[in-house]
Structure 1
Amino acid sequence: MKCIIMANGDYGDIQNYRWLLDEADIILCADGGANYAYQMGVLPAYIVGDMDSIKPQVRAYYEGHKIPFKKYPQRKDFTDTQLILELAEELGASEIIFVGSLGKRLDHTLSNLYCGAELALRGKKIWHYSSDCSAYLVNTEFTVEGEIGDKVSVLALSDMARGVYEEGFEYPLENVILEKWNPYAISNVLREKRGVIRVQDGLLLVLHYRGRSL
């Protein structure tokens, strides 16, 4: 089941997300992410969080449509992202796609990226989408599809990632070890329209910048 989680981060032109939302089996909103769902006319299955970011008129609108709210206190041990990931797993999601999860605040961005690590290591497909970048959590093999010249960066999310391969790139890698504290596999370039990234042990973060010269 494909689950979209709408977070309260940067979106840019919200119409860039319409195609992705149309493919979703279920849509969940993390607190202020409901403000963007409201702008797009989306009725989520649940709204989750401490409700400190959702606008009053948006909350009233969704309450009027009987959308379930899972409200938590502001003083809590887990972030809204962690709570909504737990719900997505309970609902049976096999693929979880975040939107609005990158940008705005660096601490929130990093937290959002790390929150999915455990599920990714258990075989769930976890990725983040924005209008110019997609970020994928990879623990086996992943194929990047784009245009020749697209930038692709690979970081170790685990302390170490062993047996890393990159094929179809200007700077190929073959059976290397990436360490979290030595991020040298940055700004690779697609040499073909498909590039393959593999890791034998550990977790990678693969960032694909579409059509940008960075």
Structure 2
Amino acid sequence: MNVGIVAAGPVHDIPDLKKVNHIDYWIGVDEGANVLYESGIQADLLTGDFDSIEPNRLESIKQNTKAINQFSSIKDETDLELAFLEAIKLKPTTVYIYGATGGRLDHAWVNVQLLTMFAEKHLDAWMVNSQNEMTVKYPGKYELNKDLSYPYISFLPLSEVVNGLTLQGFRYTLEDQDINQGSSLTISNEWSEKKGTYFFNSGILLVIKSRD
């Protein structure tokens, strides 16, 4: 099952969801519920406090939804974190998160860090905006098919250091290299083969596919 999560980020930073045809289960998060509604997509689940949606519009959205988890605006978790917990329960194949970047930097940065929730469960999850797809990985070996939509790929430490990073099938290869947080060594790589492989021994790695 592929799960799509639509958060409350700026609409201009969200790809055209009408063209997204690989999602089996949609979750709308707060204002993201309105984005799904405007895209003509029926949400399988809405979650959040919905304090940013006008009441009459919210009622129309709810009538076009299969299930709703509505919370108080006073809570410890963000609406997106609660949506991530719901997605994890579904044991998905892949999760795609839209509307989680752009706008406020504090929200965008914590949302990237929240990707560790999926990495800890060894679930594949990608945060998507109009120019990038990003994921977080814990130590292991991974393969990525060449993506013509995103010609550049970067491997950045989310932890203080990523130990033993090896890159194969990319234009700039590495062999058992330690990468410290703040280093630009692994920015803007490219695929040299149809499939690239990367693996590392310890740390937390942020992988970003990008286009200009």
Q: CA offsets per residue over residues 108-141 of structure 1, 9 Å max, x none?
A: 1111111120321221111111222111222331
Matches within 5 A, 1:1-214: 1-12=1-12, 16-20=16-20, 22-65=21-64, 67-139=66-138, 140=140, 141-147=142-148, 150-210=151-211, 212=212
User: Are the structure 2 counterparts of residues 16 and 196 from structure 1 closer, same or farther at C-alpha, using a change threshold of 3 Å?
Assistant: farther
Query: Do the aligned residues in 2 keep the contact of 1:28 with 1:46 (CA within 8 Å)?
Result: yes
**Greater CA drift, 71-80 or 194-203:** 194-203
Greater mean alpha carbon deviation, residues 88-97 or residues 30-39: 88-97
What secondary structure does 1:87 align onto? Answer: helix
Amino acid at match of 1:172: T
Q: Distance in 2 between matches of 1:148 and 1:102?
A: 19
Cα gap change, 1:163 to 1:39, in 2 (>3 Å)? same
Count of residues in Structure 1 that have an aligned counterpart in Structure 2: 210
Identity of aligned residues (%): 27
- One-letter amino acid matched to 2:191: L
Structure-1-length-normalised TM-score = 0.86
| Structure 2: gaps spanning 5 or more residues | none
Note if contact 1:99-1:130 (Cα within 8 Å) is conserved in structure 2.
yes
Partner Cα separation in structure 2 for residue 142 and residue 80 of structure 1: 31
Counterpart amino acid of residue 185 in structure 1 = T
